[in-house]
Structure 1
């Protein structure tokens, strides 16, 4: 091959390489590409930040226990009286009155000497009829003394029975003028006459309390079926029994609850007044 032919072949190879080779990237072009990448990243980050959270709070209300010693639960009676959502009147009942604007408060626990060794009869006038209770001052003198005091001062006039339990534990709880389950008369006292086996027969009148054994105050409950309650912490004071009107409690219980897991009875009942007399032998 002549030198002229070699030069011609070399020239053709060079031309072919030039056709397939990528053009070099200039500084300006490179800067544009880098800027484009950065801008894209910024836009993605901004979009993520701008998206609203759709996952709700992980905080959920603690489940309410069914025992009368549970943490307070909201009642349903409205501050202006009448029926709350989901409630209706049972036969023979009238609409609940408005809650007390300012429930009476005291600071001194009444002397148990006023009730010790005595038996009393309490008539509880309600929006669904009268409940008659027999109070045992011999077995629960402090509790009965407190009940006498609160009745005399009109502490419960009026107040709703804010809590009903219908599964496992069968009680109607009353005695809080605020209707929230958090009210107390301003004092507290300890447990008396609590059954060691935790058995509460139908028609028993007992004190409700928190986990504090000295938190007995103004709230009490009536068992409309035999109920087994925990004995941890000392149990619950039995201080009497229903002698008349338990059919009224049965009627309220039969109406059930406004919502599952909630304490509000479908059929409301409120205390209007309480009068107490000593039972003579």
Structure 2
């Protein structure tokens, strides 16, 4: 690539990064406004309850047989299955965007094209999220930052920062369509997340290039929302080159850039 093309590429990446930062700032502001409204509403409800209690005329103390509202222990394990209403950030694309249908498209890397198919019926939240971000050009110019080559065989992408810690400015859950046997066949496309947190998905996803058994954790498995229909050899070629430091888990030795995503 010529120096002029490199400068143009870096300029486009910089402009897109600035747009993502601005959007993230706007989302944070919206969340702060929502949080403020919720706090005000809670304070108002508490005030009403206090007034009712003070004027009810019931001044007897609770005896041994009385029940009280249990105190929530923040350190206690959560055993209930989370629901989308509880774990979905208000900024997360609505699952209805997936239209409960199959989507097809292409993931274009600087090293080749990958054909993909997404299952909007089996994983509506994940597909709605991916389709929306793709249509916004969110993935364009981002780097696939992680490659694993031992035991688990995946290429991880979708982080706008290229560090493993970035995202779209929101997170969502719960986990959808995880395999019950923890087996992810070659060609699987699944959502990455924080360990033991089923509500931490954002924009990062991984491409499985060889059959992998990925153990579930306390949150469950990993959301499978699609599969590769062509171009798996593009990913295996990246994997064959290895990582920067030769380790089995690290950045690919050659930069892997998503140049664009077309989906329909």
Shorter-chain TM-score range: 0.5 to 0.7
Distance 2:249 2:234 in 1: 21
8 A Cα contact 1:163 1:173, kept in partner: yes
From 250, 253, 267, the equivalent of 2:236 is 250
Distance 2:17 2:117 in 1: 30
2:238 and 2:252 in contact (8 A); partners too: yes
User: Which residue does the alignment assign to 1:154?
Assistant: 137
CA distance in 2: counterparts of 1:101 and 1:113, whole angstroms? 28
Larger radius of gyration: 1
Separation in 2, partners of 1:221, 1:149 = 17
Listed as ranges, the matches of 1:1-281 within 5 Å are 98=13, 100-102=16-18, 103=20, 104-105=23-24, 106=27, 108-190=91-173, 191-211=175-195, 212-232=197-217, 233-259=219-245, 260=247, 262-277=249-264
Structure 1 counterpart of 2:87: none
Q: Which runs of 5+ in 1 are unaligned?
A: 1-80, 83-93
3-state SS in 1 of match to 2:133:
helix
Q: In structure 2, do the counterparts of structure 1 residues 109 and 101 end up closer, same or farther at CA, with 3 Å as the change threshold?
A: closer
Q: Secondary structure at the match of 1:258?
A: coil
> Is the 8 Å Cα contact of residues 164 and 257 (structure 1) preserved in structure 2?
yes
**Ranges of 4+ aligned residues in structure 1 off by more than 2 Å:** 97-107
Deviation at 1:124, TM superposition (A): 1.3
> Does the Cα contact within 8 Å between 2:150 and 2:248 map onto a contact in 1?
no
Distance 1:261 1:172 in 2: 12
8 Å CA contact 1:252–1:268 kept in 2: the answer is: no
Q: Which structure 2 segments of 5+ residues have no match?
A: 28-89
Q: 2 CA distance for matches of 1:267 and 1:179?
A: 13
What is the root-mean-square deviation in Å for CA atoms of aligned residues?
2.1
Paired residues, number: 185
Q: Note if contact 2:167-2:204 (Cα within 8 Å) is conserved in structure 1.
A: yes
CA contact (8 A) 1:127 1:269 kept: yes
**Alpha-carbon distance in structure 2 between the residues aligned to 1:128 and 1:98:** 18
Report the equivalent of 1:90. none
Q: Contact between 2:140 and 2:258, CA under 8 Å: does it hold in 1?
A: yes
- Taking structure 2 as the reference length, the TM-score comes to 0.66
Q: Give 3-state SS (helix, strand or coil) of 2:150's partner.
A: coil
Which has the larger share of helix? 2
Q: Structure 1, residues 6-57: CA drift from partner, whole Å, max 9, x if none?
A: xxxxxxxxxxxxxxxxxxxxxxxxxxxxxxxxxxxxxxxxxxxxxxxxxxxx
Give per-residue Cα distances to partners, 1:178-219, cap 9 Å, x unaligned.
111111101111110011111100000000000221011100
